[in-house]
Amino acid sequence: MRNRFVVGNWKMHGNRVSNRALLEALVKGMQGLEGVECAVCVPFPYLGEVAAQLAGQPGKARLAWGAQNLNEHAQGAFTGEVSAQMLAEFGCRYAIVGHSERRQLFGETDAVVAGKYAAALAQGLKPILCVGETLAQRDAGQTENVVGRQLQAVLDLSGRKSLENAVVAYEPVWAIGTGRTATPAQAQAVHEFLRARVLPDTSILYGGSVKPDNAPALFGMQDIDGGLIGGASLVAADFIAIARAAQRKG
């Protein structure tokens, strides 16, 4: 059976005080959330404090943590960068790779993303590989070409079997932070396309303006195994409501 995941991407938000309060509320909300793997991917400087705060969680359902990016090299003269080994030292279970903001704003190519995916795996981190098309690409009928190419770059470097230890997230660029969600049918169509290219047990998350009110319909689709959540992951009640929608998935 495919695992269900709900992962928060805090992006460049938060501070030490607000993080503490948010995590406290999330940990409380996690009670009874068995069956869904929940995690928050936080800015690098907060990893130590987040790890310390989440280390001794009560109950069976525990909130994991991870990073939003990493460097593809193991170590070296890469000023300002952070390696997979450093993330592992802080107890990260996950690292997002290939988020569209990294691809678009920081020029990350498919090859760089594939390197980051491999670097995460090498240190025992579970990469969350993001793929997704822009609105222009969708309008030009290029969606499958684009997400297929983004996925293939990773499979070419690390092999299909590597997906045993990874998660894929379909995030249409036009739906991220815009309030414009893909319809469940639009998302399902791309998930079905991806499903045919990954392992039978690979979890595929949807991301792009997921909120408590649209999560049940999205997660109700056959090939959507949970969500990668940006804005709504900064509001504990919303994140927990979304995780509960994933839990209810049959």
So which residues are the catalytic ones? Answer: 99, 171
Nearer to ligand PEP, 14 or 231 (CB): 231
- DSSP-assigned letter for residue 181: P
Q: Which of 41, 67, 113, 176 binds ligand PEP (CB under 6 A)?
A: 176
Q: Is 168 in the site for ligand PEP (CB under 6 A)?
A: no
Q: Does 210 bind ligand PEP (CB under 6 A)?
A: yes
Minimal distance, residue 77 CB to ligand PEP, in Å: 30
| CA–CA distance, 116 with 78 (Å, rounded to integer) | 14
Which listed residue (230, 238, 239, 246) binds ligand PEP by CB under 6 A? 230
- Are 16 and 26 a contacting pair, CB within 8 Å? no
Cβ burial, residue 44 (10 Å; 0-12/13-18/19+): middle
**In the window 83-122, what residues touch ligand PEP (CB under 6 A)?**
99
Give the total of residues touching ligand PEP (CB under 6 A): 15
- The residues that bridge with 228 in the sheet, in sequence order, are 7, 207
Give me Rg for the CA atoms of the chain.
17
Asked if 228 touches ligand PEP (CB under 6 A), the answer is: yes
CB contact set of 88 (below 8 Å; sequence gap of 6+): 123, 124, 125
Partner residues linked to 66 by β-bridges: 41, 94
User: Which residue lies nearer to ligand PEP by CB, 102 or 195?
Assistant: 102
Tell me which residue has its CB nearest to ligand PEP.
Answer: 230
Which of these segments, 83-91, 112-120, 135-143, 223-231, binds ligand PEP (CB under 6 A)? 223-231
Residue 73 three-state SS:
coil
- State yes or no: residue 171 binds ligand PEP (CB under 6 A): yes
* Residue whose tokens read 């169509």: 189
For binding to ligand PEP (CB under 6 A), which residues are involved?
9, 11, 99, 171, 176-177, 207-210, 228-232
